[in-house]
Structure 1
C-alpha cells in the first residue's frame, strides 16, 4: 500500500495534470455507474415483478429528483420546487385513488418510498431529528396526524410580552364577545419561547377550556428552521403541524368584527380550500427587482395570479397574512403549504424570501401558486378602519394604523394591528374607531403618523360593530389586569 502511494506521488510530481484528470474522470465514472446501477436495479425488479407503467414512470422521476436535489442558491429554484411539489400532489392523490388501491403490496411500498424520498429531498424539515424515534414515512405520518373533519384556530404566540398580551386579548374576545366555540391551538417554539407560566395565563382567558398548546419543535427538526423568536416564520409550520384539518391561522394582534366561524363559510374558501386577504395597494412600479424575480419564477400564472393587481399593474405587496384559511384535507393545499413552509425555512428565508419581500406575507400565495393549488383572495385590496383626519374632520378621509378586511358581502370581518389605537406608541391607548373605507387611495404614514385612505365613500361603523369593539376592549382590559397582577407576583417572589 505504501508503495502504491509512493508511485502515485511520483506520478503526480512528473505529471500533476494527468493525475488530476484521472481523479476527475474516476469521480464522474463513480456517479455514472451508481446511477446506471440504480436503473439496472429498477429494471431487474421490473423483470421479476412487473410494475404498473404509471408507477414505473413515478419511480424514475423520483430517482431523478434524488440525483438532482434542490440546493442553494435558492433564488432561481422556486419554480422547480413548485414543479416537484405538483408531482408530489399527483402521487399522493394516486396513492389515495382507486388506482392506488389496486396496486400490489410491493408496488404500493415502492410508491410510498418514492413519495417519502422525494418529499424529504424537497422539504428537509420533515426529517425527524436523529435523537427522536421518527417513523420511516414522516410525510404520510404528518397527514395522518390531522383529525379528520376537524376545524380550529391556530395562534402563533411565543416570544415577546406584547405577543402574549395580544393573544390574551384575542382569546378573550373570541370566547366572551363572539361565543366562538372553535378549538384554539397556541403554537410556540420550545419552552423558552412560551414558558409554562405564560401558557397557564393564556389558558385562564378561555373560560370554555377549549385551548391547547403545540410546541412546533415536537413535530419538526429546528435545525433547518431556527424558529426561536423569529416571529413570522413559525406561522406556516404552525399551520402544517396543527392537528386541525381545516385551519384559521391568526396573528395574535388580529381583531375580529365577526366570529371567525364565518371564514369557513365564504364561497372563496368552500370552492378553493385556500382563502387569503389582500394587503394595501401601494408603491406602484417601486420594486423592479421583486417583480422581475416573480416573473422569472412564475412561468405559467394561474387565473388567480392574472387577477392580481400586484402581478398586472406592479403594485408592491399582495397579501396581509394576519389571517389565512386552509383546508389541509385537499392534497394540493397541503402540498402548497409545504412549499410555503419551505420558503420560511431558515436557509431559504435568509437568502431569498425575507430579503426580496417583507417577512412571510408573500410566501403564502406564492407557495400555493407555484405548487399548483387553487386559492382565492378577498375581492378588495386592503381597506382601512379608523377616524377622521386629525385637524381636518371635513375632509373625506379615514385614518389609522391598521388594515381592514371584508367578507364576500363587503361587511367588515377583521383588521390587523390590535385593539390599541397605535400599538407601537401607546400601550394603553384603547379607542373605538368610528369610520371605514374601501377601494380608496392610500396615503402612507409612519410609526407615529397615521396612514389615511381618501377618494372613496367614508362609511360609519354600525352600532353592532361599535358594540363588538367596545366589548372586546373591555375584555382586553381585564386580560391586562390579570397579566399585570401575575407580573407583580413574579417580581415580588
Structure 2
C-alpha cells in the first residue's frame, strides 16, 4: 500500500514539472493534498492498528521469567518446563529414609522404594540432558543443587543394585548410541550342556542365523572343555560363551547359576533386542517368528503364559506376596483390567507366566527399568525369599515391570499355553505311556473312566502369533528327563489350554491336559489314536474344551531331527569324556587304553573312520 502511494506521488511530480526549466534547475512542485487524503488516511489507520496492537500484545504477554516462575522453574530457563527445583530438592531426613537398608522379606518396601527410584531416575535423565545442553547458561545455584541430587541418586542406585559395575544411565546411553541388534541369550551350566547343544541345533535348523550368547557363572558352573564344545557349534562369530562374573560386581552367584542368572544375562548381553531362552527349549518354528509377533511389535516385549488352569487357588501366600510388590492402591482392590486378568492377582491360579522364552527390547527405557526390577527380585538376598512363593524366576518378570513403575507396558502372548505329547485314555497308566511308550491298563477303585482322553507329557508348548502353528516347546527333548535311560519323545498331538481346562499331574511331574469329550478320538490298547463315536457323557466330569491337533508332516521332520541331534550330542560328549580319560592315563605314565574306550572304538570305529591303532589326542570335538 505504501509502495503504491509513493509511485502515484512520483507520477504526479513528473506531470507538474515546468518544461521550460532545465532539469538541473527545475523548481519542485507539490501534489494536491486533498486529492490523496483518502489514501493517506488509510495508511495512517493501518500504521496505528498494526504497531499499536503489536505493542499492546507485547505488554500483555508475560515474559519468559514470568512463565518459568509460574511453573516453578528458574527465570533463566535453566530447567525444562515440566520440572522445578523442588523436584530434586530432598531434605536430609527424606534422603536418609530412602537410603535406609531394609530386609529382603519386606516386599512392600521393596516395591515402593523401587518405584520411587525409577520415577526419580526418569527425572534425572531429563535434567541431565537439559543441563548438558546449557552448560554456560546454567546458574551456579541450579548446577550445585543438581549435583547434590545426582550424588543422592548414585547412592540410591548402589543401595538397590550393588552388583552393577556401570551406572544405569551409562547402560542406557550405550544402547542409544549403538545400532539396534537382535540376538539369542541362553544360560547353561555343565548339567545343561547336552540340552544346550540340541537347543542351538534346533535354532539353526529353522534357518535362523541370529547370533547366540551363552552365559555361565564362573569356571565351576561351566568347565573350559564344555565351553569349547558349545563354541564348536558356531563359526567363531555367531556364537560366543561369556562369564557373568566378569561383568557383575558383588557375590550374587556364590551358589551357582540356576534360574537367577537368566535376567542378568539378558541385561548384560550385547544385544539391544534380546530373546532369552532356557537351555531345554526346542524350536519347531523360527525364532524370527517370535520377533514378528504382533504383541512384540506393539509393546517391545513378549511374555508367554504358563498352565493357568493348573493348581487353582483362592488365596495363598503366593498371591499375597505378589500384591505386596504392587502399588498400595492396587492392594486396596483398585486393580487395572490387565492385572485382573493375571491368574495370580485375579485369584484363579498359582501360575501365570512361563519364562522359557522371553523377548525384551532393552533400547526402550521402560523395559530397561523393568529388566532391572527383574534382576533385583533374582538377586541373592531377594531370591532366597521370593523363590519360596514363586517357581524360580518365572513370575519375577511381570513383577519386575510392576516394581519399575512400567506396569501395563509389557505384553503377553495372545494365546494360552499348550501341551505337546501323546494321547492317553483315562484307564491307562500315563507315567509308563509317556516314559516308555508302554500303554498299561490300570486297575483302580473305583475303576478309571475309559471315556476320558488326556494329552500327556513333560513338554509345555507355545504357538506363533496366529495361534495355528507350533513355535517352541520346553521341558527337554526326552520322554522323561527324570529317568537316565529316557529316549527322545515322539509326540503325536498338541493342544491349547482352555479357560475351563482340567489338568492332572503325577509324582514324576508328567502333566496331562484333559481333552474335550467332543474331540471324536480315543486311544487303542497299543496307544494308537483312533476315531470314535461321541460317548454317552452321563456321569462324566467337565473335562474342558481343549481339542487335540495332530502333528503336521513338517513338524514331524523337526522331531526326527531332534532325535538325531540328541543321539549325536550324546556320542560327542561320551567320546570327549573318554578322551579326557586317555589324557589322564598318559599323564600318569599309563599307556594302556581304558577298557570302555577300547569297546567304544571297536563299536564305532567304522562309523567314525578311526583306525584301531590310531593315537587319540585330547582335543575338544
TM over 0.5: yes
- Match for residue 592 of structure 2? none
Within 5 A, what are the aligned runs for 1:113-262?
Answer: 113=151, 115-126=153-164, 128=165, 138-146=167-175, 147-158=178-189, 160-161=190-191, 163-175=192-204, 177-207=205-235, 209-223=237-251, 225-226=252-253, 228-262=255-289
Please say which structure displays the higher CA radius of gyration: 2
Q: TM-score normalised to the size of structure 1? A: 0.80
- The answer to whether structure 1 residue 362 and structure 2 residue 362 are counterparts is no
- Match for residue 289 of structure 1? 317
In the alignment, the residues of structure 1 paired with residue 488 and residue 370 of structure 2 have an alpha-carbon distance, to the nearest angstrom, of 38
| Larger mean Cα displacement after TM superposition, 259-268 or 278-287 | 278-287
CA drift at 1:143: 3.0
CA drift at 1:473: 2.5
Q: TM-score normalised to the size of structure 2? A: 0.64
**Structure holding more helix per residue:** 1
Q: 1:408 aligns with which of 455, 465, 487?
A: 465
Q: 2:306 aligns with which of 259, 271, 279?
A: 279
- Match for residue 483 of structure 2? 425
Q: 1:388 aligns with which of 423, 431, 456?
A: 423
| Larger mean Cα displacement after TM superposition, 328-337 or 466-475 | 466-475
| Larger mean Cα displacement after TM superposition, 304-313 or 213-222 | 304-313
| Larger mean Cα displacement after TM superposition, 286-295 or 464-473 | 286-295
CA drift at 1:139: 2.1
Gaps in structure 1 of 5+ consecutive residues: 1-45, 129-136
Within 5 A, what are the aligned runs for 1:252-331?
Answer: 252-281=279-308, 282-285=310-313, 288-299=316-327, 300=330, 301-331=335-365
Give the number of aligned pairs: 433
Secondary structure, counterpart of 2:180 in structure 1: strand
In the alignment, the residues of structure 2 paired with residue 75 and residue 310 of structure 1 have an alpha-carbon distance, to the nearest angstrom, of 16
- Match for residue 27 of structure 1? none
In the alignment, the residues of structure 2 paired with residue 427 and residue 208 of structure 1 have an alpha-carbon distance, to the nearest angstrom, of 34
In the alignment, the residues of structure 2 paired with residue 290 and residue 414 of structure 1 have an alpha-carbon distance, to the nearest angstrom, of 28
Secondary structure, counterpart of 1:201 in structure 2: helix
Secondary structure, counterpart of 1:231 in structure 2: coil
Q: 1:55 to 1:420 in 2, by over 3 A?
A: farther
CA drift at 1:82: 3.6
Secondary structure, counterpart of 2:183 in structure 1: strand
In the alignment, the residues of structure 2 paired with residue 329 and residue 62 of structure 1 have an alpha-carbon distance, to the nearest angstrom, of 33
Q: Contact conserved, 2:125 with 2:169, CA < 8 A, in 1?
A: no
- The answer to whether structure 1 residue 379 and structure 2 residue 439 are counterparts is no
In the alignment, the residues of structure 1 paired with residue 423 and residue 218 of structure 2 have an alpha-carbon distance, to the nearest angstrom, of 44
Q: 1:164 to 1:447 in 2, by over 3 A?
A: farther
- Match for residue 563 of structure 2? 473
Gaps in structure 2 of 5+ consecutive residues: 1-72, 425-432, 434-438, 442-449, 517-545, 584-621
In the alignment, the residues of structure 1 paired with residue 206 and residue 348 of structure 2 have an alpha-carbon distance, to the nearest angstrom, of 39
CA drift at 1:486: 0.7
In the alignment, the residues of structure 2 paired with residue 249 and residue 354 of structure 1 have an alpha-carbon distance, to the nearest angstrom, of 20
Secondary structure, counterpart of 1:313 in structure 2: coil
In the alignment, the residues of structure 2 paired with residue 102 and residue 450 of structure 1 have an alpha-carbon distance, to the nearest angstrom, of 61
Q: 2:98 aligns with which of 68, 91, 104?
A: 68
In the alignment, the residues of structure 1 paired with residue 337 and residue 466 of structure 2 have an alpha-carbon distance, to the nearest angstrom, of 22
Q: 1:91 aligns with which of 123, 127, 150?
A: 123
- Match for residue 338 of structure 1? 372
CA RMSD, 1 decimal: 2.8
Q: Contact conserved, 1:277 with 1:324, CA < 8 A, in 2?
A: yes
String of CA shifts for 1:412-470, please: whole Å, max 9, x gaps: 21111111111111454112211011124242323536311113211101111111221
- Match for residue 454 of structure 2? 397
Secondary structure, counterpart of 1:248 in structure 2: strand
- Match for residue 541 of structure 2? none
Q: 1:138 to 1:172 in 2, by over 3 A?
A: same
In the alignment, the residues of structure 1 paired with residue 555 and residue 125 of structure 2 have an alpha-carbon distance, to the nearest angstrom, of 44
In the alignment, the residues of structure 2 paired with residue 327 and residue 267 of structure 1 have an alpha-carbon distance, to the nearest angstrom, of 14
In the alignment, the residues of structure 1 paired with residue 244 and residue 147 of structure 2 have an alpha-carbon distance, to the nearest angstrom, of 29
Q: Which has the higher contact order (CA 8 A, sep 6+)?
A: 1
Within 5 A, what are the aligned runs for 1:444-455?
Answer: 444-448=504-508, 450-454=510-514, 455=516
Secondary structure, counterpart of 1:76 in structure 2: helix
In the alignment, the residues of structure 1 paired with residue 290 and residue 560 of structure 2 have an alpha-carbon distance, to the nearest angstrom, of 22
Secondary structure, counterpart of 2:479 in structure 1: coil
Secondary structure, counterpart of 2:297 in structure 1: helix
Secondary structure, counterpart of 1:276 in structure 2: strand
Q: Contact conserved, 2:480 with 2:486, CA < 8 A, in 1?
A: no
Q: 1:320 to 1:403 in 2, by over 3 A?
A: same
| Larger mean Cα displacement after TM superposition, 226-235 or 137-146 | 137-146
Q: Contact conserved, 1:165 with 1:479, CA < 8 A, in 2?
A: yes
Q: Contact conserved, 2:460 with 2:473, CA < 8 A, in 1?
A: yes
Within 5 A, what are the aligned runs for 1:49-60?
Answer: 52=79, 54=83, 56-60=85-89
